[in-house]
Amino acid sequence: MLGCTVCHEPLVGARAYCTRGRLLVVVALSEQSDCLPHLRGEAGGVPANIDDTLHVGAVNIHNAQLQRARAYVVNAGANLVQMNAKLWEAEANWRRARKPGALPGLGAHHYDQYKAGYREAQANVSVAEAGVEIGIAAVAQG
C-alpha cells in the first residue's frame, strides 16, 4: 500500500509502475489534500512510502517482460535461419530456371513462379532480420 511518509494516510488511487528497472509512483491528489505538501517534499515529507511487496511485484513483472523479450529474440533468430534456408532453395531454383536449356519445357508461367519465389524469399529474410533487431532492442531497453 502506498502511504504518505509524514501523516501515514493511505494514498487512495496511487499507482506504482516499474519502468526500465525504476519504480515510478503516480499520485492524483486534489490541491486541497493534506498530503500534497508532504508528497512535494515540503514539511518534512518525501515522495510516497512504497510497500516492499509492491516493489517486489513490479520488479518481478519487469523481469518477466525481459525474459519474454529474450525468448522473442531466440524465436526470431530461429525464424531467420528458416527464412535463409528457404532463400537458398529459391535462389537455386531461380538459378536453374535462368540457365538456357537447364529445365527443358519450362514455360513462362513456371519461370515467373521461380522468379517470384526468389523475390519473396528475399523479402522474408529481410522481415526476419528486422524481427531479430526488434527483439534485441527490446532486451537492451529492459
> Within 13 Å, how many C-alpha atoms sit on residue 119's CB side?
6
What residue spans define the domains of the chain? 1-50, 66-141
The fold of 66-141 is Helix Hairpins (1.10.287)
pLDDT score, position 59: 74
Distance CA 84, CA 71 (A): 20
Question: At 72, is the secondary structure helix, strand, or coil?
Answer: helix
Question: At 17, is the secondary structure helix, strand, or coil?
Answer: strand
pLDDT digit string, tens, across residues 37-83: 555 555 444 454 445 555 667 777 878 888 999 999 999 999 999 99
- Sequence-distant (≥ 6) Cβ neighbours of residue 43 within 8 angstroms: 6, 37
pLDDT score, position 45: 46
- pLDDT, mean of residues 95-113: 79
Helices (H) and strands (E) in the chain, counts: 3, 2
Question: At 74, is the secondary structure helix, strand, or coil?
Answer: helix
pLDDT digit string, tens, across residues 78-96: 999 999 999 999 999 888 8
